[in-house]
Structure 1
Amino acid sequence: MVSHKKMTKKIVSAKVDEMYRESKHWNSCLQLINDELTFIQHLLNSYVFEPNTPNLFERLQDYQARIKRSKDDWDKLSKMIGHHENSIGGILECSDSVCDNFYHQKHEKLKVEAVNYMENFKDLKYEIFEYAGCILKKRKPNN
């Protein structure tokens, strides 16, 4: 018969594994987003846009400022996830449910922040690509 303590330790270990996998997934998504941020910054600073587009300069300035804010948020979130990953193992050293709950609440809060950031970035990226795509289409020669 398996003792209650061994069973609890097994459950906690499974939770730690799951939290670690989730944080690795967030990191993977953030690495992709970092590459996309770099691409978008290069796109916005390029000369591929039709110069006579109404409000082009203002739109590009707005997008550049929003991409910079997103990059700053990316930096903060990436650091938070890194620190969180390094501390996840602390759950295994918890001796009570208060400590255990602390780690889980911290993880859930970080999950919300990561998902919100990814959703906001996806929306911004879509908006920029939608705008850029319309302008770039104008440059195609008519056959």
Structure 2
Amino acid sequence: MIKQIKHKTFSRDKSIDELHYSTEKWSAELDFSAFELSFLRQLIKSYPYKNTIPNLFENIQLFMKQLDKIEGELPLLIKEIRNHNNQLEGKLECNDVSCDDFYLDEYNQLSENIFDYLQDYKNLKIEIYSFMRGIIPNP
């Protein structure tokens, strides 16, 4: 498991361009995650393992379920990012602090959701890599 850190946001002083940039970075990271998830699924299914491992099939099934869960969350997060990115233009029309706060609160919540998703995903990858390290035959 990787070190757990708490999400912090520093968005109060960010410009619209900086907020857009952050959402584009999130999109790119989630796009890469989708590609990587597909690879992990293929790797796990390929069975390049020693067959004498206890509970091999059960562990593989567990990883597949966890990959399904993580992969299933991706489309919603990507949709939320797109929607938020489109809504950021409304922040330009804000004339008061409460309006600005609305957009920043939305940004901060989305930022935390993505942070949590990526933490969960990284922890799953560590579990998979650690397990596979012990079952892949040494050359």
Alignment of structure 1 residues 1-143 onto 2, 5 Å: 15-136=15-136, 139-141=137-139
* Ranges of 4+ aligned residues in structure 1 off by more than 6 Å: none
Q: Deviations over 1:66-124 (max 9, x none)?
A: 00000011121111111111111110012322221100000001111111111110110
Segments of structure 2 that go 5 or more residues without pairing to the other structure are: 1-11
How far apart, in 2, do the equivalents of 1:73 and 1:40 lie?
16
Of the two structures, which has the highest relative contact order with CA contacts closer than 8 Å and spacing of 6 or more?
2
Q: Deviations over 1:4-34 (max 9, x none)?
A: xxxxxxxx99521111111111111111111
How far apart, in 1, do the equivalents of 2:55 and 2:61 lie?
10
One-letter amino acid of the counterpart of residue 135, structure 2 = I
CA contact (8 A) 1:91 1:100 kept: yes
Q: Which residue in the other structure is 2:3 paired with?
A: none
One-letter amino acid of the counterpart of residue 100, structure 1 = D
Segments of structure 1 that go 5 or more residues without pairing to the other structure are: 1-11
Which structure has the larger Rg? 1
**TM-score normalised by L of structure 1:** 0.83
CA contact (8 A) 1:13 1:92 kept: no
RMSD over equivalenced CA pairs, Å: 1.7
Q: Report how many aligned residue pairs link the two structures.
A: 128
